[in-house]
Every structure is written in C-alpha cells, then in structure tokens.
Chain A
Amino acid sequence: MNFDDTPQEAEFRATARKWMEANAPKKYEAELSKSSLGRIRLEKEEIVDVGKAWQKKKAEGGWACLHWPKEYGGRGATPIEKVIWQQEEGVYGKLTQPFQIGEGMCGPTVMAFGSEEHKRHYLPKLASGEHIWCQLFSEPAGGSDVAGLRTRAEKKGDDWIINGQKIWTSGAHYSDYGLLITRTDPNVPKHKGLTMFFLDMKSKGVEVRPIKQANGMQEFNEVYFTDVVIPDSQRLGAVGDGWNVSLTTLMNERMSIGSRLATGFPEMFEFCSNLMTEDGLAIDDPATRSKLASWAVKASGLKYTSYRAISSLSKGERPGPENSIGKLVSGTMLQDIATYAMDLEGAAGALTGADEETASGQFQQMLLSSPSMRIAGGTDEILRNIIAERVLGLPGDIRVDKDVPFNKIPTKGR
C-alpha cells in the first residue's frame, strides 16, 4: 500500500509537469484557485475565450482529450495517464469547463456511432476547443425520466424535421454542435421509439433562451426546435436505437474519476477556525466540532475512495462501483455546510454582500447554488436507485409505462 507512481507513471508525470511549467496561463492561477463551486467566472475575461485558448495550446502540445486515439485529436493515453494529467493540470483544469460535455459525453458517442468521415472531421476540432458541443437530452417532461422525452423527429426524404423543446442545456448559447435525442416513433413503448442525431447549433429554427435560475444566475438554457432540418447522415446509431446510444453517452460520465468534487469542507474548516463568536472561536464549540468532524471524514472518505479508483486504473483494472457515491455525498454536504455557516453568522448570515462578517458571502452563494448539485446529472434519488440496483443488485422499480405505446402514457397527474 503506497501513494507512489510506478516508474512509467512518474516519467509521464514529469513530462506533463514540465510542459505545464512552460505553458500554464499563470496569470489566472489565483482567480481559479479561489472558485470552488459552480460555474467559473473570471474578473475581466470570458471563461469561454480563455478556455478556448488554453484548450488550443493543450491540443498543440498533445494534452487535449489525451485518452482519445491520436487520429481523433488525442494522444492515446491510458486512463491512469489521464488522471495524472488532471492532477498536473490542477486549477487550470477549471478552464476546460466549457468543453467537458463535449469531451466526456458527445465525443465518445460520436466515436462509438459516427462514420469514420465524421470522426475525422469533428473529433479533432472538438478536442482542440475549436468547436464546443452541448448535450440536448433533458426536457420539461423528461428529466429523471429522460426516456419520456417528446421532441419529435419526422423523416422527410433524406432529412429529418425536428420540432420540440429541450431544457437544462449547459453552454447551448456558445455551442457549435449539439448531441440531440428525439422521438421518432410514438406508437411503440418509450425506450424503443428514440433516435440520436447531432446537429449544427446554428441551423435554422434553433432558438436558445437562457433560464433564470433559482440562484439568480443564468447558466443553463432552453432550446426550441421549429422545423429544424437534420440530414440523415447525422444520425448516430439505428433509427429507434437512441436509448442504447444514450447509455453510451451517460456511461462515459464514469471517467470523471480523479476530478475532485467540491464539498465545501476546506472553506468551512477555515471559516470556523477564524470565526470569533461571543463564546470564543467557533471551532472550540463542541457542537461545531462534532459537525466539522463528521464533514471532515466524509471529505476524506471521498478523497480516499477516489484514490482507490485511481489505484485500480493504475493496475489496468476497471474501477469498482465505489465512485458512484461522490455526488450523492458532496451535494448534501454543500447544502448542510452552507446552512450551518450562516447559522454561525447569526442575523448577518442572511446578507449576501462581500462583507467581512459574512466571509465574502461565499456560504450564501453556496446555499443558493447547492440545490442544483443535488439535481443536475442525476438527482440524489436517481443516484440512490442506481446504487441500489447496479451495485447492490436490488430489483428495478415496477414501471407502469414500460410496455405501453408512448402515445398512450398519461401526461397529467390529475
């Protein structure tokens, strides 16, 4: 049991570190280090512009999408090499946020189901950051139940005509391409009538509208489709096989191993260590200590769980299911920590300004943003179902709509 690299890993790390030392955009380091939750913002520049420049530089150096094959813009790196790269890229990895959906979900789907011509044309530009991709899955009527989606695709000659609406699309407003799942046959059960496409986001009839969120920010979009034309050549997988194609997309989320989830703990420990209350330092209060200790072991538990997965990758094994707990644990933690930090601030806890008494308003921001961490990318409840069914082997829930033609499924509760 040790934390050391193998000789090959050490050599790879040294190469990565040397490249980073020579090329990292150090002027953003302080700003990037500070931001721990949610969308990254830079004071003076647009994250997308800075991110594109960084991604391009990485691509030139052979560090973009490095686990992809060389002919598609990667360097054919192993999974453990990708983790080592992420560790060496460090805070600058936050600049890649606009590309994460493309790299983690859209790219692998095109790689699995696209034609050779498509792969050679689209993937290198995705890898180098020239093109940004978004994923058009969720709909107002299909979030956790994504197979309940209603956006229609109808065949017309060699084209498909798209009508409908998607929601919660990160980055749609700056994306060049989108991965789109549609319903092509409403007369069969819901999982069987779906088909996957990709499209140019500048196509006629595509309208992107930002959503004003509960935290007051605008990070996600609604995307409307009105008679949008997609050539059949941009279909991924067979007609009616869209559900299986989407599983490939979602499966690639497991590659998030090694990327640290924010838990809020380091900020909270620092806050309690310095906060003077009427009874002394907050960290000397037994109730506060008890909470801090429980959060501390959750944070360290997540860290060492990811070390276990990295160790599996290092041995060339597939990581076990342990990593599925990450978001489930960290989402609730962020919310609980934010709530308690505000409690310690007393009446001033309600203030959101960057004042001294509210620790720059960081916990207020965390409070307002944390609900999305428990919903986006699988709600806490869906994640528990996944653990129960896929890890513990419990039976699936009884699905009353499973064998019913999609157009016969009720659409209103009452």
Chain B
Amino acid sequence: MNFDFSDEQKQMRDAARKFLAEKCPPKAVREVLDGKATYDKALWKGLAEMGFLGVAIPEEFGGAGAGHLELCVIAEEMGRALAPVPFSSTVYLAAEALLLAGSDAQKQKWLPKIASGDASGTLALFEGKGNPSPQAIKLSASGGTLNGVKKPVPDGAIADFAVVAARTGSTGRDADISLFLVDLKAGGVEVRSLTNIDPTHGQAELTFKNCKAEPLGAAGEGWGILTQVLDRAAVLMAFEQVGGSDRALEMGRDYALDRIAFGRPIGSFQAVKHILADMYVSATLARSNCYYGAWALSTNASELPEAAAAARISATQAFQHCSKNNMQVHGGMGFTWEFDCHMYYRRANATAVTLGSLSYWEDQLIDRMRKKNAA
C-alpha cells in the first residue's frame, strides 16, 4: 500500500509553500482584505510562471500536464497561505468544467490562457439562497442568449469568462439544465460586486440580458456535468481547507507556547492543551479523508462521489473547528483586526458554503452511501 503522495509531489508542495511564504505573506493578503486591490495580480502572474495554474491542464492545452494529485498539494498550500487570487473559481470550477465538457475549440480558447495567467474563469450556478439543485436554476437560455441573474458568483467581478448553468426545458427533470460558456468581457452582462464575510475572495452578482452564449457540453446534460464538476472541486477545495486548518492549528500552538499567564505558558494548562489536541484530531481526520478523495479524483474512480462528499464534510468541519478555536486560544488578541486569526475564520466559514453548504454535502454523502449499499 502506498497511500501517500510521491516524493516528487511532496517536493512540489515544498516548492509551493516556499513560493507562497515569499510572495503571499499575511501582509499581501491584507492588501485585498482592506480593499486596496480586488485580487493579488502579481501573485497570479507568479503562480502562472511557477506552472501552478495549469498543473492539471494537459500539455496540448498549454498546461504542465502533471495531474490532479499535483493540483491537490498546491491547493493545500493555497489554503494555508489564504492566497487572495481567483484560483479555486478558475482552476477547480471553470477549468474542470472545460476539461470535462468543453469542445476542442473551447479548450483551445481558454485553457492556455488560464495556464498562462491571462484569463480567469468562474462558475455561475447559484441564484440567491439555497444549495445546488436543478429546480433552483431559473436563468433561461433560448436561441443562444441568456436572461437571468446569478448570485453569488465567486470571483465574478474579475473573471474573464463564466460557465453558466441555465434552464433549457421545463419538464421538472435534470435534463432541463444545460451549461453555457460566456465571455464576460463581450457585453450583455452587468456585474455588481457583493460584500461578503471573506473580502480576500470577491463575490458578485451577474445579470444576463440577452447575453450571447455558446453551449458547453450537450444540451440537457448540464446537471450531470455540474455534479461531476462540484465533486471534483469539493476534493480540491477540501485540500485548501486542510491547509487552512493546519495553519490555524499551528498559529494556536505557537501562541500557546509564547503567551504567559498566571506565570506559565498558557499551553501548559490542560484546558488550552485539550482544545489544541482536538484541533489536531479534526485536522488529521480531514487530511486522511482528503487523501482518499485525491486518490479517487486522480484515478477517476467510481468511488469519487462518496469520497468527495466525505472529504468535503470532514475538511469543512476541521477548518471551521480549527479557525474558531485558534481565535479562542488567542483570547482577546484573537478578536483584533491586527492578528491574522480572523482571516482564517472568515475563509473557513466562507468556503464552508461556497460549493454548497455542510448540510447539503451531508445529505449527498448519505444518499451516495445508500446507493452504493443498494448496488
């Protein structure tokens, strides 16, 4: 059994960690947090130069053609550093949708630009409150034009293109949904930035008015493709969440070692130790579930739907748990803007809902386990 990343993949993780430590210190994250920039453009270019944006994109489309295990280790580092760039929307959602369903021409148009850092993309799925569901998609497509409103769209205000889920039928079945590809800079889309709990990642409302769009994948197969895209993104996002969990745990541990109260390091009090031990437990469970997700993703295994849901749930719980308790260990200082604790707390709770909330994925996991048991 070799249920671990290879030495080469670990070297890539080390390289990513070193690169991000240098190019994406908390100070750089704060530039976006404080609204001085919409995202870190220099970092985005740097990630392209390192080959990280196209690591899972085949060479024929301008990528490095490495694979998804490599993308997992980079995702973990992006989460650890809270990188304020449209990485998850572009790489986990838009690029994965193109790879799964795009025509050769569509892939040729966008994937090389993603790999080179010249374009970012996103997935426009949600229309207000609620979790992923075909019934919730009202935006209509007819005759190659889209009409309707998507909200929230991750990184929607900076994206160059979007994969849009639209209604093309009214039978009440999954086959009513089709996907479209929209060049957001070509007109027909109104973009409005939305405030959100994690300002290091923007959210937007996109209003489509007779907007020209080309089909992505076959008509009526949109929901099937979306489900696959969300599963793949769930694994990748889970790695980001595990990276963030580990960093929050380290921050809490370091502070507990340094901070003196009642004449001793607070980390010598069992009440504090046990908080940190429990953070270690949840981060470890999440990491192990993520490894299984990574295996399923990289081999396109039939276990992927279940593995993705498990990784997603475990990592969401771990990041929420670690980030809130990191603040708790820090005491009053953890509730200041100056300390970085809140940035992890914000990211943890924003990523907990972006691909569908915890309860949605819990529901999915149980459905999928039942399906497997029935088979």
A residues engaging B (CB < 8 A)? 1-5, 9, 269, 273, 283, 286, 289-290, 292-294, 296-298, 300-305, 307-308, 310-312, 314-315, 322, 325, 328-329, 381, 383-385, 387-389, 391-398
Of chain A, the residue at the smallest CB distance from B6 is A1
Interchain CA distance A396-B278 in the complex, whole Å: 17
Chain A residues in 8 Å Cβ range of B253: 392-394
Interface string of B275-288 (1 = CB under 8 A from A): 01110110011101
Contact A315 B310, beta carbon cutoff 8 Å: no
Contact B289 A301, beta carbon cutoff 8 Å: yes
B residues engaging A (CB < 8 A)? 1-6, 69, 249, 253, 256-257, 264-265, 267-270, 272-274, 276-278, 280-281, 284-286, 288-289, 291-292, 294-295, 298, 309-310, 313-314, 317, 359, 361-363, 365-366, 369-370, 373
Query: Can you list 16 residue pairs at the A/B interface with Cβ under 8 Å?
Result: A1-B294, A269-B373, A293-B362, A293-B366, A297-B285, A297-B365, A304-B292, A307-B3, A308-B291, A311-B4, A314-B1, A315-B4, A325-B285, A328-B277, A381-B274, A395-B264
Chain B residues in 8 Å Cβ range of A308: 3-4, 288, 291
Contact A301 B285, beta carbon cutoff 8 Å: yes
Q: Closest Cβ of chain A: how far from B369's Cβ, in Å?
A: 7
Q: Closest Cβ of chain A: how far from B9's Cβ, in Å?
A: 8
Shortest 10 CB-CB contacts between residues of A and residues of B = A301-B285, A293-B362, A388-B273, A304-B288, A384-B277, A394-B267, A387-B277, A297-B314, A305-B288, A395-B268
Contact B291 A1, beta carbon cutoff 8 Å: yes
Q: Closest Cβ of chain B: how far from A271's Cβ, in Å?
A: 13
Interchain CA distance A224-B369 in the complex, whole Å: 52
Q: Interface SS of chain A: helix, strand, loop or mixed?
A: helix
Contact A1 B69, beta carbon cutoff 8 Å: yes
Chain B residues in 8 Å Cβ range of A387: 277, 280-281
Q: Given that A308-B288, A394-B253 are contacting pairs, would A3 and B3 also be in contact in the complex, using a CB cutoff of 8 Å?
A: yes
User: Given known contacts A388-B280, A394-B267, what 9 new A-B pairs fall within 8 Å (CB)?
Assistant: A2-B295, A283-B370, A286-B363, A289-B363, A305-B285, A307-B288, A311-B4, A394-B272, A397-B268
Chain A residues in 8 Å Cβ range of B276: 388, 392, 394
Chain A residues in 8 Å Cβ range of B310: 296-297, 300
Chain A residues in 8 Å Cβ range of B5: 1
Q: Closest Cβ of chain A: how far from B303's Cβ, in Å?
A: 11
Interchain CA distance A69-B120 in the complex, whole Å: 61
Of chain A, the residue at the smallest CB distance from B367 is A289
Q: Closest Cβ of chain A: how far from B176's Cβ, in Å?
A: 25
Q: Closest Cβ of chain A: how far from B174's Cβ, in Å?
A: 21
Chain B residues in 8 Å Cβ range of A298: 285, 314
Chain A residues in 8 Å Cβ range of B285: 297-298, 301-302, 305, 325, 329
Chain B residues in 8 Å Cβ range of A296: 310, 365-366, 369
Chain A residues in 8 Å Cβ range of B298: 1
Contact B270 A307, beta carbon cutoff 8 Å: no
Interchain CA distance A177-B242 in the complex, whole Å: 48
Q: Given that A297-B313, A307-B288 are contacting pairs, would A5 and B1 also be in contact in the complex, using a CB cutoff of 8 Å?
A: yes
Contact B268 A329, beta carbon cutoff 8 Å: no
Chain B residues in 8 Å Cβ range of A384: 270, 273-274, 277-278
Chain B residues in 8 Å Cβ range of A300: 288-289, 292, 310, 314
Interchain CA distance A298-B69 in the complex, whole Å: 23
Chain B residues in 8 Å Cβ range of A293: 309, 313, 361-363, 365-366
Of chain B, the residue at the smallest CB distance from A5 is B1
Of chain A, the residue at the smallest CB distance from B364 is A293
Contact B288 A294, beta carbon cutoff 8 Å: no
Contact B3 A311, beta carbon cutoff 8 Å: yes
Interchain CA distance A275-B362 in the complex, whole Å: 19
Chain A residues in 8 Å Cβ range of B6: 1
Contact A289 B280, beta carbon cutoff 8 Å: no
Interchain CA distance A294-B320 in the complex, whole Å: 14
Contact B257 A394, beta carbon cutoff 8 Å: yes
Of chain A, the residue at the smallest CB distance from B4 is A311
Contact A394 B289, beta carbon cutoff 8 Å: no
Interchain CA distance A2-B2 in the complex, whole Å: 5
Contact of B1 among A4, A294, A329 (CB under 8 A): A4
Interchain CA distance A300-B370 in the complex, whole Å: 15
Q: Given that A311-B2, A311-B3 are contacting pairs, would A304 and B291 also be in contact in the complex, using a CB cutoff of 8 Å?
A: yes
Contact of A304 among B269, B289, B309, B363 (CB under 8 A): B289
Of chain B, the residue at the smallest CB distance from A1 is B295
Contact of B366 among A289, A307, A328, A397 (CB under 8 A): A289
Q: Closest Cβ of chain B: how far from A406's Cβ, in Å?
A: 24
Chain B residues in 8 Å Cβ range of A269: 369, 373
Contact B313 A322, beta carbon cutoff 8 Å: no
Q: Closest Cβ of chain B: how far from A70's Cβ, in Å?
A: 26
Chain A residues in 8 Å Cβ range of B369: 269, 296
Interchain CA distance A391-B256 in the complex, whole Å: 14
Interchain CA distance A289-B364 in the complex, whole Å: 10
Contact B359 A1, beta carbon cutoff 8 Å: no
Interchain CA distance A273-B371 in the complex, whole Å: 11
Contact A305 B295, beta carbon cutoff 8 Å: no
Interchain CA distance A221-B356 in the complex, whole Å: 53
Contact A3 B1, beta carbon cutoff 8 Å: yes
Chain A residues in 8 Å Cβ range of B269: 397
Q: Closest Cβ of chain B: how far from A373's Cβ, in Å?
A: 16
Interchain CA distance A312-B1 in the complex, whole Å: 9
Q: Closest Cβ of chain A: how far from B320's Cβ, in Å?
A: 12
Q: Closest Cβ of chain A: how far from B90's Cβ, in Å?
A: 25
Contact A395 B289, beta carbon cutoff 8 Å: no
Chain A residues in 8 Å Cβ range of B313: 293-294, 297
Interchain CA distance A246-B314 in the complex, whole Å: 37
Of chain A, the residue at the smallest CB distance from B362 is A293
Contact of A325 among B2, B284, B295, B359 (CB under 8 A): B284
Q: Closest Cβ of chain B: how far from A10's Cβ, in Å?
A: 11
Chain A residues in 8 Å Cβ range of B249: 392
Contact A388 B277, beta carbon cutoff 8 Å: yes
Contact B284 A322, beta carbon cutoff 8 Å: yes
Contact B363 A310, beta carbon cutoff 8 Å: no
Interchain CA distance A286-B284 in the complex, whole Å: 27
Chain B residues in 8 Å Cβ range of A4: 1-2
Chain B residues in 8 Å Cβ range of A3: 1, 3, 295
Query: Which one of B69, B256, B257, B285 has the greatest number of beta carbons of chain A within 10 Å?
Result: B285
Contact of B273 among A9, A273, A307, A389 (CB under 8 A): A389
Interchain CA distance A391-B365 in the complex, whole Å: 31
